[in-house]
Amino acid sequence: MILFMRKLGIGMVGCGVVGGGVLAHLTRNRDLLQERSGVDFEVVRVAVRDLQKARGIEASKLTTSWREVVEDPQVNLVVEMMGGTTLAREVAEATLKAGKPLVTANKALLAECGEELFALAERNKVPIYFEASVAGGIPILKALREGLRANHILGIHGIINGTCNYILSRMADEGKSYEEILLDAKRLGYAEADESLDVDGIDAAHKAAILASLAYGFWVRMDQVYVEGIRKVSALDMCFAKKLGYTIKLLATIQPNSERAVEVRVHPTLIPSTHVLASVSGAYNAIAVEGDVVGNTLFYGRGAGPDATASAVLSDMAEAGIALDAGCVYRGFERHSFNGQTVPMAEVRTRYYFRLTVLNKPGVLARVAALFGAHDLGISSVFQPEDHDEETVPLVILLDYGKESSMRKAYDEIMKLDVVQTPCQMIRVEDFS
Amino acid sequence: MILFMRKLGIGMVGCGVVGGGVLAHLTRNRDLLQERSGVDFEVVRVAVRDLQKARGIEASKLTTSWREVVEDPQVNLVVEMMGGTTLAREVAEATLKAGKPLVTANKALLAECGEELFALAERNKVPIYFEASVAGGIPILKALREGLRANHILGIHGIINGTCNYILSRMADEGKSYEEILLDAKRLGYAEADESLDVDGIDAAHKAAILASLAYGFWVRMDQVYVEGIRKVSALDMCFAKKLGYTIKLLATIQPNSERAVEVRVHPTLIPSTHVLASVSGAYNAIAVEGDVVGNTLFYGRGAGPDATASAVLSDMAEAGIALDAGCVYRGFERHSFNGQTVPMAEVRTRYYFRLTVLNKPGVLARVAALFGAHDLGISSVFQPEDHDEETVPLVILLDYGKESSMRKAYDEIMKLDVVQTPCQMIRVEDFS
């Protein structure tokens, strides 16, 4: 039985869609959170841009100055919900310097300034909580850092951008073009007005950098993450992939190579349609983690949106409250004695799908195959759809495992062949072998 | 940087297959565990039944007396790996009374004596760690208690017995009988020599009781869990289910009804083949958790075996070590102000699949349908396979949602019809609507 319960003062900076979701769910599930954490919360100060917008918060608690929130002596804990990296970084730094725990869902901030922020946190012995920054409501960071802590991570494969997965799922189901589905996704609220952060893979790369950093215990910088977005994926590729038994997903791949350097890459990927990740559709996220002790695991749920994010933010708030109450010693970023290197993309070995547009005449396949062979790239299957009989036809080729730099060279040479026309397409293949 | 690291003395009671796995992985990944937890472990004392069996432990550390392990002043933490509930309970109680944290994978112990053990833990302010007791290496208890703590749990649906899932998956894939696959499963080590604990659903019921207790914050007793095993599932049912778009799994269902009492039941269940749980095959486990904030989540991985279990036990050991080091205050079982009632099976409302053996003559369906109708049970679809034209034929009927007690009455009356022969079969249906 809890006889005395401390009330924890929450300061919130930013109160848009996600911050509003956190407040709404905190109000609704406050009793439950108390029962489960032994901590009571009270939002005491909220910094917003526009005081006039109604948010269901007493006017006396609102301010336009984030400093007032951070410096308020009644604020024990700062929840940063503003997004972006410039002002958010100032808020984060001021919070840590004030000796107050920071809760954030800001993946860009952590991917770009995580090392510096955690160094500052270390100096001030204040924890940063950031479960909501990756895969929304799925407690994947807790799983990696705690539940699977006895495991060397052999690989992480994740669908970690809901917008891209929504678009690709609908393309696969409906056979429509990227452009058509994107427009509809914007109309339905599944894509932002400016879609680039999502569809160019930047958001997924931020999350991949965070996952990789936690899994391997060194800070992976954004310039160490290889990124390709989904704009170039066509309805034709979707269709051919399906015929070959694959589904195209924007996949984040994080895995050590034989020298224990880590690949961190985000790009469209053909995955076998029988793999559980292929069945993750719509705006859902899923992260498959393979550990050397536990084997294969998978974590699935909604990766974005105010509700899923609020679930993680509120859990972090409770965790912060428990730690503050208990006077637990500070635990920061856990560095491993890992080699701490990432693999340049040119060194990565994977499989490849090619869709070439070639002249419809004999001998073309032989010339293309010869160039792959010259670069030590084995062909595992070739597929030429029968229902094309114009002057040019699509030629689909699946390669065995080969080195990215070799693939690039072969691709360049193939594109120079007079029998090869545009458009041509290359998508990597992951067969989880 | 960690300058001073405390060495934590581990005492282990029982060192069979699972305990051996824990020791092997601890030896192999000890450095990683140190880096991730700031705690170093040393196994100082191990109680075994037979001192002669080689286990890779120095003979000086072995004993046949569990009391010696628990009472050893060098032992800071006791890992109970013996199984069973009689001696294991004595070990657990002695450990807690000695003020030492307990780590256990013993689901039977927790399901049957959890309330008493946690009360004892509370009195002694010593924590019990039991992540390994449910779903092996999947950190589902941590997810429920921590990652999803801001959520009222709207439902849990789990495949939580690997042996049953292995047998049912193979029956579905190969069209063979339960008996045939069971024999093969025993030969391959997927089923124990005495298979009853698994195939009768007891093991899954233990885990369901633990999941329900944590999700709803009151101790669910084993006699409150409805259990049916998989022995009666036939190859014919597998085949008919598939034709209707369903897959048969041993499913644990835990969900509150409209009065906030909780259903806790384990039985064979038809689930839509398109649902992600249907794709969980072989010895894998998966638990779908729906929260009122986060929405749908799913956690997947290996649910049994020495490796997956070791992953969870080692994580718990690290957690115990961190808490001991940090001097965190004790946190025990978190009771909720929930109504704390379970729903009697007779009150449960669900859908049903019937496979009746009926005489091959006109008017049979009308008589069966009339009896369902008399008990307020709506028929959603009827299926009579064409390739049976003997004297008796199978008649497959899917019912809409109805009350278990009504279904039971209708079933009894139908079985008394002169046109209905044996065998007949009833399996519940979960459509996740």
Q: Is the dihedral of CA A236, A237, A243, A249 positive or negative?
A: negative
Task: Identify the band that residue B5 occupies on the pLDDT scale cut at 50, 70 and 90.
Answer: low
- One-letter amino acid of B273: S
- So what's the pLDDT on residue A55? 73
- Chain A nearest CA to B328, separation (Å): 5
Q: Nearest by CB to A326, which of B296, B301, B329?
A: B329
The secondary structure of B11-68 as a DSSP string is EEE--SHHHHHHHHHHHHTHHHHHHHHS-EEEEEEEE-S-TTS--SS-GGGEES-HHH
ipTM above 0.85, yes or no: yes
Indicate the angle between helix axes A306-326 and A30-37, nearest 10 degrees: 40
Q: Where is pLDDT greater, at B401 or A57?
A: B401
pLDDT of the residue at A433: 82
Whole-Å CA distances, A260 to A146, A254, A295, B259 = 22, 12, 18, 54
Rounded to 5 degrees, what angle do the CA atoms B84, B110, B94 make?
75
CATH number of A140-302: 3.30.360.10
Residue among B96, B48, B132, B183 nearest B301 (CA): B132
Which amino acid is it at B246? Y
Domain B7-136+306-326 in CATH: superfamily? NAD(P)-binding Rossmann-like Domain (3.40.50.720)
Q: Rounded to two decimals, what is the model's pTM?
A: 0.95
* Banded model confidence at residue B390, pLDDT cuts 50, 70, 90: confident
pLDDT tens digits, residue range B279-303?
899 999 999 999 999 999 999 999 8
- Are B290 and B430 in contact, with CB atoms under 8 Å apart? no
Q: What is the 3-state composition of chain A as percent helix, strand, coil, each rounded to the nearest 5?
A: 40, 25, 35
Distance spanning both ends of chain A, measured CA to CA: 51
Question: Strand A284-291 to strand A153-159: parallel, antiparallel, or no bridges (unpaired)?
Answer: antiparallel
Distances (CA, A) of B232 to B124, B250, B356: 46, 12, 14
CB within 8 A of B147, min separation 6: which ones?
A131, A138, A139, A142, A143, A312, A315
Listed in sequence order, the residues at least 6 apart from B128 whose beta carbon sits closer than 8 Å to its beta carbon are: B92, B96, B101, B102, B104, B117, B118, B121, B332
Select the residue of B37, B150, B286 nearest A315 (Cβ to Cβ). Answer: B150
Q: List, in sequence order, every beta strand (DSSP E) within A1-98.
A: 7-13, 40-47, 62-63, 77-80
Residues 6+ apart with CB under 8 A from A104: A79, A80, A81, A88, A92, A110, A128, A129, A130, A132, A133
Residue A36 structure tokens: 């489960």
Query: Which residues from A are below 8 Å from B35, CB to CB?
Result: 217, 334-337
Alpha carbons B147 and B291: distance in angstroms, whole number:
11
Could you give the CA distance from residue B86 to residue A430 in angstroms, rounded to a whole number? 49
CA distance B351 to B432: 11
Question: According to DSSP H, which parts of A38-85 are helical?
Answer: 66-71
Q: Do B308 and A294 touch (CB under 8 A)?
A: yes
Q: Which residues contact B240 (CB under 8 A, 6 or more apart)?
A: B353, B355, B383, B385, B394, B396
- The three-class DSSP label of residue A4 is coil
Type of residue found at B143: A
The mean per-residue pLDDT over the stretch B190-216 comes to 96
Query: For residue A184, what are its two tokens?
Result: 């509809």
**Mutation target among B293, B307, B334, B336 for the A interface, most CBs of A within 10 A:** B293
- Residue ranges of B 319-338 with Cβ closer than 8 A to chain A: 319, 322, 325-329, 331, 334-337
Could you tell me whether strands A62-63 and A40-47 are parallel, antiparallel, or unpaired per DSSP bridges?
A: parallel
Cβ-based neighbours of A319, under 8 Å, separated by 6 or more = A37, A129, B146
Any idea of the CA torsion for B262, B267, B268, B273, to the nearest 10 degrees? 20
In the residue annotation, A207 being an active-site residue is answered as yes
Residue A30 touches partner B, C-beta closer than 8 Å: no
The pLDDT score that the predictor gives to residue B1 is 36
| Phi and psi torsions of A319, nearest 5° | -60, -45
Could you tell me which residue, B276 or A3, shows the higher pLDDT? B276
- Contact residues on chain B for A306, CB-CB shorter than 8 A: none
Interatomic CA distance for residues B185 and B168, integer angstroms: 11
Nearest to B85 by CA among B113, B56, B115, B49: B113
**pLDDT score of A387:** 67
What the block records as the tokens of B121 is: 């833990």
CA distance A200 to A268: 10
Give the C-alpha separation, B225 to B219, whole Å. 12
Q: Given an 8 Å threshold on Cβ–Cβ distance, is A35 in contact with B302? A: no
**Residue B301 token pair:** 């991985």
What would the pLDDT profile of B63-113 be if each residue is shown by its tens digit?
A: 999 999 999 999 999 999 999 999 999 999 999 999 999 999 999 999 999
Judged against a pLDDT cut of 70, whether residue B314 lies above it is answered with: yes
What single string gives the DSSP state of each residue in B378-407? -EEEEE--TT--SSEEEEEEEEEEEEHHHH
- Which of A280, A297, A302, A309 should be substituted to probe chain B, the one whose Cβ sees the most B Cβ atoms within 10 Å? A297
* Cβ neighbours of B347 (radius 10 Å): 14
Contact status of B374 with chain A (Cβ, < 8 Å): no
DSSP string, A221-264: PGGGSEE--STT--HHHHHHHHHTTEEEEEEEEEEE-TTS-EEE
- CA trace torsion B171, B176, B182, B188 (10° rounding): -80
Amino acid A54: pLDDT: 65
CATH superfamily of A345-429: ACT domain (3.30.70.260)
Q: Measured between CB atoms, does B246 come within 8 Å of chain A?
A: no
Q: Is B342 on the interface with A (CB under 8 A)?
A: no
B302: contact with A, CB 8 A cutoff: yes
Alpha-carbon distances, residue A374 vs A363, A370, A403, A414 (angstroms):
17, 6, 13, 11
Tokens of residue B192, six digits: 């124990």
Single out the catalytic residue among A100, A125, A186, A207.
Answer: A207
Residue ranges covered by each domain of chain A: 7-136+306-326, 140-302, 345-429
**Order of all β-strands in the sheet with B40-47:** B62-63, B40-47, B7-13, B77-80, B102-104, B128-129
Averaged over B340-353, what is the pLDDT? 95
- Name the 3-class secondary structure at A367: helix
From A21, A104, A31, select the one nearest A307 (Cα to Cα). Answer: A21
Contact call for residues B311 and A151 (beta carbons, < 8 A):
yes
HSE-CB at A51 with a 13 A cutoff on CA atoms is 10
CB contacts under 8 A, A 34-63 vs B, are: 35-38
DSSP per-residue letters across B355-384? EEEEESSTTHHHHHHHHHHHTT--EEEEE-
Are the beta carbons of B324 and A24 closer than 8 angstroms? no
Positions of chain A with pLDDT under 50: 1-3
User: Within 10 A of A175 (CB to CB), how many other CB atoms are there?
Assistant: 12
Which SS3 state, helix, strand or coil, does residue B285 take?
Answer: strand
Mutate to test the interface with B, among A294, A313, A319 (most CBs of B within 10 A): A294
Query: What is the Rg, in whole angstroms, of the alpha carbon atoms belonging to chain B?
Result: 24
Find the catalytic residue in B207, B232, B243, B416: B207
Distance CA B331, CA B142 (A): 13
Band (pLDDT 50/70/90 cuts) for residue B375 is very high
Residue B219's nearest CA partner among B346, B88, B112 is B112
Average confidence score pLDDT of chain B? 93
Q: Cα Rg for chain A, rounded, in angstroms?
A: 24
Q: Give me the phi and psi of A338, to 5 degrees please.
A: -85, 160
Report which of residues B173 and A325 the model is more confident about: B173
Beta bridge partners of B427: B353
Answer CATH for B348-429 from 3.20.20.150, 3.60.15.10, 3.30.70.260, 3.40.630.10? 3.30.70.260
Coil vs helix vs strand at A400: strand
Looking at residue A326, what is its pLDDT?
77
Residue B82 to residue B49: CA distance in whole angstroms:
10
> Which residues 6+ apart lie within 8 Å of B52 measured at CB?
none
Contact B251, B156 (CB under 8 A): no
Residues of chain B contacting A307 with CB distance shorter than 8 Å: 293-295
**Whether the Cβ atoms of residue A85 and residue A111 lie closer than 8 Å to each other:** no
Asked if B297 lies within 8 A of A294 by C-beta distance, the reply is no
- Give CA torsion, residues B75, B80, B81, B87, to 10 deg: 120
